[in-house]
Amino acid sequence: MPTIHDEAICVRQWDWSETSQTVSVFARQAGVFRAVAKGSRRDGAPFSGGLEVLTRAGLTASLKRTGALSTLTSWDLRDPYPAMRRELRRFHAGMYVVDLIHHAVHDADPHPGLYDATVCALTALGGTQDAPASDSGAALLAFQWALLAETGRTPVIDRRADTGEALRESKTYVFSPALGGLIPDTGTAADTGWRVREHTIEQLRRLACGQTLGSEVAPSIERANRLLAAHIAWGLESAPATAALALGQTPQPLKAGADGVKSSPCSDDEGP
């Protein structure tokens, strides 16, 4: 059983006994693993007063083979992200972030880049001693984009997803989750996917180029968040329960619109 020293975010936590807990953590170098923290609730134990979801800490653990419980021997709290515990919308967004990690990342599959993106998102959502909380919409969008990129499902937004040819500029496009990207909006029954506005896609293109998203385009960022959430849910074949709460939406089933274009489960009446 190798002993590791790493940093991690607590994704899930369960009571194991009166004094111990089991947890699922997303570690920067080790990836996602489940462990038992024996005596974590005892006074003086090296667990910073117990483990809690949506916290980041340095850890020491003895790893076991995939599928078996590892042993967590220390948890040195670094960031509790307090703003998420004061504002419900930020808390829901944070829970959506760790829910996506739980559902989309395989155990023992390290993703240092995605871990760093998760820390950036939780820092923006919850704030730290060194950085105040910031725009939650932009943080959530950047995280969802990073999740898709790290899991090999980056949306095709710079060309046609069906042919690979250049995509003509348009006021609206159709996003096909089956093809993983954009196709022209012809306004016919053949347009299978979700109709999206050019301003929504513009935010994703800015993200892909590493540009900063400003609060002045908040409506477009909200629509882009709903689009990526719908695309992620399509790939997972279900949406995490926290998705609608984080996005301020009521869960809706996929349905065919009058123009033959399916509505996103996280879209408003006008589409993403």
CATH 2.40.50.140 intervals, the chain: 1-80
The pLDDT of residue 110: 96
The pLDDT of residue 22: 96
DSSP letters, the chain, are --EEEEEEEEEEEEE-SSS-EEEEEEETTTEEEEEEETTTTSTT-SSTTS--SS-EEEEEEE--STTS-EEEEEEEEEE--GGGGT-HHHHHHHHHHHHHHHHHS-BT---HHHHHHHHHHHHHHH--SSS----HHHHHHHHHHHHHHHTT---B-SS-TTT-PPPPP-SEEEEETTTTEEEE--SSTT--SEEEEHHHHHHHHHHHTTPPPPGGGHHHHHHHHHHHHHHHHHHHTS--THHHHHHT------EE-TTSPEEPTT--TT--
The pLDDT of residue 248: 85
The pLDDT of residue 250: 61
Task: Please list the ranges in the chain whose pLDDT falls under 70.
Answer: 1, 189-190, 215-216, 250-272
Domain 1-80 has CATH 2.40.50.140: yes
The pLDDT of residue 216: 60
The pLDDT of residue 123: 97
The pLDDT of residue 260: 36
CATH 1.20.1440.120 intervals, the chain: 88-272
CATH H-level, domain 88-272: superfamily: Recombination protein O, C-terminal domain (1.20.1440.120)
The pLDDT of residue 257: 34
